[in-house]
Amino acid sequence: MFEYSSVIHVHSKYSDGSGEIPEISRYANEVGVDIVLMTDHNTLRPLRDGLEGWYGSTLVLIGTEINDQKNQNHYLAFGIKNTFDNRLSAAEYVKRVKEEGGIGFIAHPFEKRNHMKEHPPYPWTDWTTDDYDGIEIWNHMSEWMEGLTEQNKYQRFVHPLKTVERPNEESIKLWDKKALERRVVGIAGVDAHAYKQNVFGFFEVEIFPYKVLFKSLRTNILLEQPLIREPDKLEHNKKLVYEALRGGRCYITNFYHADSKGFRFFAEADGKVFLMGESIPSKIKEIRLRVNLPEIISEIRLIKNGEHVDSIIGTEALWQIQNKGVYRVEVFIDNNPWIYSNHIRFL
């Protein structure tokens, strides 16, 4: 497998971000981000303006963050050519994305934030739909703002990376529950805007520079073939990335703690290998779940149907499993959440 580190959910000047796409890509390049997935609000203009493609060693792909007319229900959509009429309900546009062959993720589904009037929360409300591919279970901006208080705001502005600790608990719960029914892909989003704002009353600060955020939450994607760094291979590369995301061949990592490249979680059964996002046929009686980590001793937690059932300290883990369930792993460095794999379903 070929592993690529991606940053998902980024806004540019095409909507309410403060950076131009070439500038954003340069920052991504500087901190070793392989893929950036842009998501400006309700527009695919950067796609039509030809901004998709390679910027140095970073591949930039253009999706959009759709919301309905009341600015509710934010949805990250990729692989579609046009945006939709914003009078459509969330359930309708989620369906349209699917029908057009795109992929979509519910953004910050349980967002709660009350500190800044100009940035109210935008939780997902339309749960009648079941056509989404995945959920953004960890959103940097939401978590950062959720914990903001009058007392800690200076500290949080100065240390934007230290103050982001763990995915949203309700999102994780929903993700594990839905996984019992079908594959639901978990991703992380940075929700980068680099807002320029007069926060303290006397000087303007940027919350947060793109480059700082690009060192935090990433979604690392595993591909069966490498990306090809040639301009005429854009469609080929795009297809590889989107199919891996759709299939759940990816995991979430907080790059701030360490580079996780080399992490693998897979199952072996019947002489075959099953990757994250895959389902193991129910007739199989026993499977082996394996984890490999880069050379960093960590706590590897096995999560079955949402419950933490075992921990192994080290750089690898192996479990013999007979019981049916949906399995994923979480990896902690010094009690800090570092990696969240996608599920392997054995039902």
Q: Which is nearer to Zn ion, 64 or 298 (CB)?
A: 64
Q: Is 191 in the site for Zn ion (CB under 5 A)?
A: yes
Min. distance of Cβ 141 from Zn ion in angstroms? 7
Contacts of residue 256, Cβ cutoff 8 Å, sequence gap at least 6? 161, 162, 164, 215, 216
Question: What residues have CB less than 8 Å from 26, skipping those under 6 apart?
Answer: 55, 56
Least Å distance, CB 113 to Zn ion, is 11
Task: Give the residue with the Cβ less far from Zn ion, 19 or 277.
Answer: 19
* Position 136 contacts Zn ion (CB under 5 A): no
Nearer to Zn ion, 107 or 213 (CB): 107
- Cα(312)–Cα(334) distance, integer angstroms: 14
Work out the burial of residue 163: count CB atoms within 10 Å of its CB; fewer than 13 is exposed, 13-18 middle, 19 or more buried.
Answer: middle
Which residue is at the shortest CB distance from Zn ion?
A: 74
Restricting to residues 40-99, which ones interact with Zn ion according to CB under 5 A? 65, 74
Please give the Cα distance from 81 to 62 (Å, whole number): 10
Q: Which is nearer to Zn ion, 65 or 133 (CB)?
A: 65
Tell me the closest approach of the beta carbon of residue 114 to Zn ion, in angstroms: 16
Q: What is the dihedral of CA 21, 23, 24, 25, to 10 degrees?
A: 90
* CB of 173 vs Zn ion, minimal distance in Å: 20
| Beta carbon of residue 65, minimum distance to Zn ion (angstroms, whole number) | 5
Residue count at the site for Zn ion (CB under 5 A)?
Answer: 4
Name the residue nearer to Zn ion (CB basis): 121 or 226.
121
- Residues engaged in binding Zn ion (CB under 5 A): 65, 74, 107, 191
